Amino acid sequence: MLDIKRHPCFNVAVKGWCGRMHLPVAPRCNIMCNYCNRKYDCVNESRPGVTSTVLTPPQAEDYVRQVLQAEPRITVAGIAGPGDPFANPRETLETLRRIRRQFPDLLLCLATNGLGLPPFLDELADIGVSHVSVTVNAVDPEIGRQIYSWVRDGKVIYRGLAGAKLLLARQMAVLEGLKARNLVVKVNTIVIPGINEAHVVEVAKAMADRGVDILNCMPLYPNADTPFADIPEPTSARMAAIQAEAGKYLPQMRHCTRCRADAVGLLDQDRTAELRPCLSASAGKAPDLSGRPYVAVGTLEGVLVNQHLGEVGRFQIWGPDGQGFHLIAERPAPPPGGGLQRWQALAETLQDCRAVLVSAIGDTPREVLRQQGIMPVVMQGFIDQGLQVVYRGGDPSSLKNRRRGVGGGCSGSALNPGGGCM
C-alpha cells in the first residue's frame, strides 16, 4: 500500500527525507501562458519549465532506475513539462504505466493546466497516480484572458475571452473529476502583480468549494521574451500577506522551490546538476523500435528519395519482407501551414515509423520527429539504399549527395548502434 503522505510538496513534514524527480517527457503545450518561456536552458538556472533534455518513455524508465540508485530517498516521480502532460498524452501515459510497473513503491504525480486532462481521468486513477497539481490562475475569465495568449483545443485555437472561458471550464471539470476519484489535488496559482494578485483569494475560495486539498501561491518568475517580462516578481512580504489571506480558505504550500522540468533531489538538497550525467546517459540510449516497423519516404515516383519534408503531400510507407522491402501504404501528410503543430501532427501520422527518408528537412521538424522517436535521414538516391541503412546498419551520412552505392562502413547505424550488416 502506497503511503501518500511521502510527497514533499504536499506534505512539508517529510521534505527532509522524501525527494521528488521530474521526468521531462512532455515537450509540447496546448496553451500559451504569458509568463512561460521554456526555450532557453541555462543548466545552472532553476525556473519552471526548463529542461536540459527531453526523454522518451523508455528513456525515462531508464533514468528513474539510475537516479534511484544514486538517490534512494526519491519517493515521487512526476511529470511537470517542459510543456503540458496532456498536450503529450501518449508519452505521459506510457511513462506513468512504465514507472508504475517497474517501481511500484514510487508515488506518481503530475502538474498540468488541465485543458487536455478530462478524457484521461479514469486512466490516471487506474494507473495509480495519487497526486495532481492543476495550475489555476484565475476563476474570472476577464482576468484569465490577460494571462493566456491562446488556448488550443484539438485543431482550434481560441484567444481572448473564449480561450480563458474554455480553460476555466475544463479546469473546474478536472478538479471535480480528480476529487471524485479520490486523488490528492493541489492548485498552483501564479501570483502576477497588477494582473491577478488581488484575485488570488477568490481563487482560494473557489478551490476550497471544489474540495482542493492545498493551494500553492507561486510568485511570478519574470521571464525574458514573454509578455510579462517587465512585471516585477512579487516581494516575499506581499506573498506572505496573500498566503495568510488565502490560508483562511485552504491549507497553503509555502515551501515551493519553483522547480525545473528535470529537477531531482530533496527540495532543500537539489541534485539536478549533480545527477545530470544520468539524464544525459538515459537521453543517449538507443530508441525503442518495437511498435515502429516501417519507414516513411518522401518520393515523387516511388524509386528515388527526392522530396523535401515540407513539400511531401503523401508519404510512402515501406517495410521489410523476406527478400527486401516493399511498399505497404501511402499516407497523406498534414496540410502545409500551422508551424510546430504541423510537425507534431506529422509525428502522430508516422507513429509506426522508425525513420523518415527525405532529401532535406528544417531544424524544427527534425527535432520534433527525433524527440518522438522518428529518425530523420537526409539523403539523395534510391529508396532501397536508404532502407538498407535503416534496417541493416550503416552510416546515414553516407547517403548524402549520392545516387549509387550505399558506401560507408557496416558498423551499425544511428538506429541500430553497434549492429552490423546482416
List residues binding ligand SAM (CB under 6 A): 29, 35-36, 48-49, 80-81, 84, 111-113, 135, 188, 190, 218, 220-221, 223, 258, 261
Residues 300/42, Cβ–Cβ less than 8 Å = no
Query: What is the secondary structure of 352-416 as a DSSP string?
Result: TEEEEEESB--HHHHHHHHHTT-EEEE--EEHHHHHHHHHH---GGGGTT-SS---S-SSB-SSS
190 binds, among ligand SAM, ligand SF4, none (CB under 5 to 8 A by kind): ligand SAM
Query: How far is Cα of residue 158 from the mean position of the Cα atoms in its chain?
Result: 21
To ligand SAM, the closest distance from the beta carbon of 324 in angstroms equals 46
Query: What is the secondary structure of 255-292 as a DSSP string?
Result: ------TT-EEETTEE-TTTTHHHHHHHHTSPPP-TT-
374 binds, among ligand SF4, ligand SAM, none (CB under 5 to 8 A by kind): none
The SS3 call for residue 252 is strand
Q: Is residue 81 at the binding interface for ligand SF4, with CB under 6 A as the rule?
A: yes
Q: Is residue 92 at the binding interface for ligand SF4, with CB under 6 A as the rule?
A: no
Q: What is the DSSP letter of 210?
A: T
Q: In the range 199-228, which residues lie near ligand SF4 by CB under 6 A?
A: 216
294 binds, among ligand SF4, ligand SAM, none (CB under 5 to 8 A by kind): none
To ligand SF4, the closest distance from the beta carbon of 236 in angstroms equals 16
Task: Give Rg (Cα) of the chain.
Answer: 23
Q: In the range 5-64, which residues lie near ligand SF4 by CB under 6 A?
A: 9, 20, 29, 31-33, 36, 49
218 vs 295, beta carbon nearer ligand SF4: 218
The SS3 call for residue 336 is coil
Residue type, position 35, single letter: Y
257 binds, among ligand SAM, ligand SF4, none (CB under 5 to 8 A by kind): ligand SF4
32 binds, among ligand SAM, ligand SF4, none (CB under 5 to 8 A by kind): ligand SF4
259 binds, among ligand SAM, ligand SF4, none (CB under 5 to 8 A by kind): ligand SF4
Q: Is residue 267 at the binding interface for ligand SF4, with CB under 6 A as the rule?
A: yes
Quote the CA–CA distance of 14 and 242 in Å, as a whole number. Answer: 25
Q: Mark 111-127 as b/e (b = at least 16 C-beta within 10 Å).
A: bbbbbbbeebbeebbeb
For residue 74 the three cell numbers come to 526519491
33 vs 139, beta carbon nearer ligand SF4: 33
Residues that bind ligand SF4 (CB under 6 A): 9, 20, 29, 31-33, 36, 49, 80-81, 83-84, 113, 216, 256-259, 267
